[in-house]
């Protein structure tokens, strides 16, 4: 098992429910191949992941990112509005 690494994948739903998995995968895999692994093993659906972006410890990453042992891969929803727009919207609402 020397060639395997542990990856944590996390998604926080809009209602703040957390989906979290600690997975053992082969080393030297890209984010793209990891996404295929997640779909193939039914952790997430391809429809769900198709419009998401991804990060590692809070920094956005691209599909060619090579995963490292103990990485935390975060699944981000696409923003419907920027944080500034959200604050303005909430201010007007109150």
How far apart, in whole angstroms, are the C-alpha atoms of residue 63 and residue 12? Answer: 20
Instruction: Count the domains in the chain.
Output: 1
Q: What is the pLDDT of residues 27-57, one digit of tens each?
A: 999 999 999 999 999 999 999 999 899 999 9
Q: What is the pLDDT of residues 51-80, one digit of tens each?
A: 899 999 989 999 999 999 999 999 998 766
**Strand ranges in the chain using DSSP code E only, listed in sequence order:** 4-12, 18-26, 53-56, 59-61, 72-76
Q: What average pLDDT does range 8-37 have in this prediction?
A: 94
Domain region containing 78: 4-93
Q: Which residues of 47-62 are buried (b: 16+ CB within 10 A; e: fewer)?
A: eebeeeebebeeeebe
Count the residues in the chain: 94
On whether the CB atoms of residues 49 and 35 are closer than 8 A, the answer is yes
How high is the pLDDT of residue 85?
75
* CATH number of residue 54's parent domain: 3.10.20.90
């Amino acid at each position: 098992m020397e060639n395997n690494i542990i990856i944590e994948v996390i998604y926080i739903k809009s209602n703040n429910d957390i989906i979290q998995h600690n997975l053992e995968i082969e080393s030297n895999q890209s984010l793209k191949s990891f996404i295929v692994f997640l779909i193939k093993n039914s952790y997430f659906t391809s429809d769900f992941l198709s419009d998401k972006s991804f990060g590692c410890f809070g920094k956005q990453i691209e599909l060619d990112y090579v995963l490292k042992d103990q990485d935390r891969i975060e699944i981000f929803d696409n923003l419907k509005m920027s944080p500034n727009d959200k604050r303005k919207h909430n201010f007007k609402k109150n």
